[in-house]
Amino acid sequence: MEVEDHDLLIELKKDIEYIKAKLRMLCEYDSHLEERVRAIEQKYAYIMGVACAIAFVVSLLVSWMGS
């Protein structure tokens, strides 16, 4: 289960990187869009930080419960 979750996070990150690349291309045509993309990237960084923290806590709990 842990491997599946890790694989899903990797796929999610790849999808988000693809979307970010497409948004950067759009920014070349619309200068106001660049500000919105930065805001989205900041939210993405926050969400990934929270997801990593949750995964860390869950892994600690699983290891604690297993021992």
pLDDT per position as a tens digit, 39-54 = 888 998 899 889 888 9
Confidence band for 67, pLDDT divided at 50, 70 and 90: low
pLDDT reading at 2 higher than 70: no
pLDDT reading at 19 higher than 60: yes
pLDDT reading at 5 higher than 80: no
pLDDT per position as a tens digit, 21-34 = 887 787 777 777 77
Distance CA 61, CA 29 (A): 48
Q: Give the Å distances, CA to CA, from 67 to 47, 60, 64.
A: 30, 11, 5
- Residue-range domain boundaries for the chain: 2-66
